[in-house]
Structure 1
Amino acid sequence: MAARTSLLRLIDANANRALEGLRVCEDIARFHLRSPNVFRRSRALRHAVAQAIRRLPATPADFARARESRRDVGRRAPAARIASLEQLLLINFQRAKEALRALEESARLLAPREAATFQRLRFRAYEVERALLLALDALRHR
């Protein structure tokens, strides 16, 4: 039982990390880049990740019961200094990609068939990241 709780805690943390990172990137596409196409792709990816998480064999209450935010040993880790929107985008997309990889690996234990879904989403994230970076570069050269 303790192993399942730890696994749910790991999945919960990475689900939150992936969705939060993708939301930051989506907001940059929406409010800074003002790119409807890149915004839609970013939003669709975030929604697809949320849907994949909901398909896991655990309820939101299961994840909440496993969560121990107050006792998290990584809680006080220092945040990176961010100097630009481009850096904010890069940091948050890296965060989301790493979280998707952790979800992929964790799913192998909890729901092996879902691991492939998280792998596809991770590769889809690479493409959305590319579109965001190219849109940011185009904006810089206007």
Structure 2
Amino acid sequence: MESSSACERIIDANLNRSKEALRVVEDILRFNYDDEDLATQTKGIRAHLGSIAKKHIKTVAHRDTQNDCLTQVTLPEEKERESLFDILIANFKRAQESLRVLEEVFKLVSIESSLMCKQSRYKTYILEKQVYDKYSKY
């Protein structure tokens, strides 16, 4: 049986992960590609997640970073990137994975938040395709 504390920790970690990943995407689109439209779309998704985070701010109380068993684990493929485009795509994937986790775990806590995460996840799929079509040639 799951504990509410575990759910809160999962939500906290994945809200942070998804927002951080989208910030990386936004900054690369903004500063490397000067793409106001795509950067603004990314910022909008991140803001949408911020509104979810505000509803669930108490998840921070369950944060236990110092005792998290995976904070010191880094896989070899995480250590190197070949280009800003590779970083961009890796962070799209990171955001999508964390949004999927949120969608599932929120089913135990808030159906509304679960549906909002699902919507955000689909928006990132669409945005990733736009970015890929526009910049994969570089």
Q: Same fold (TM over 0.5)?
A: yes
Residue of structure 2 in register with 1:64 after alignment: 60
* CA displacement, residues 90-122 of structure 1 (integer Å, 9 cap, x when unaligned): 111100000000010011001123211111111
Residue of structure 2 in register with 1:103 after alignment: 102
1:30 partnered with 2:26: no
Residue of structure 1 in register with 2:82 after alignment: 83
Q: Pairwise CA RMSD of aligned residues? A: 1.5
1:1-142 to structure 2, matched below 5 A, reads: 3-55=3-55, 58=56, 60=57, 62-78=58-74, 80=78, 81-137=80-136, 140=138
Q: Matches of 1:12 and 1:114 in 2, distance apart? A: 13
Once the two structures are TM-superposed, the CA of residue 36 in structure 1 deviates from its matched residue by: 1.0
Once the two structures are TM-superposed, the CA of residue 47 in structure 1 deviates from its matched residue by: 0.6
Once the two structures are TM-superposed, the CA of residue 75 in structure 1 deviates from its matched residue by: 0.4
1:33–1:135 CA contact under 8 A, matched in 2: no
* CA displacement, residues 1-32 of structure 1 (integer Å, 9 cap, x when unaligned): x8111110000000000000000000010001
Once the two structures are TM-superposed, the CA of residue 84 in structure 1 deviates from its matched residue by: 0.9
Once the two structures are TM-superposed, the CA of residue 53 in structure 1 deviates from its matched residue by: 2.7
Q: Secondary structure, in 3 states, of the residue corresponding to 1:33?
A: coil
Query: Which region of structure 1 is more displaced relative to structure 2, 14-23 or 122-131?
Result: 122-131
* Structure 1 gaps, min length 5: none
Alignment-mate amino acid for residue 87 of structure 1: D
* Structure 2 gaps, min length 5: none
Q: TM-score, normalised by structure 1?
A: 0.88
2:85–2:136 CA contact under 8 A, matched in 1: no
- Residues matched between the structures, number: 134
Q: TM-score, normalised by structure 2?
A: 0.90
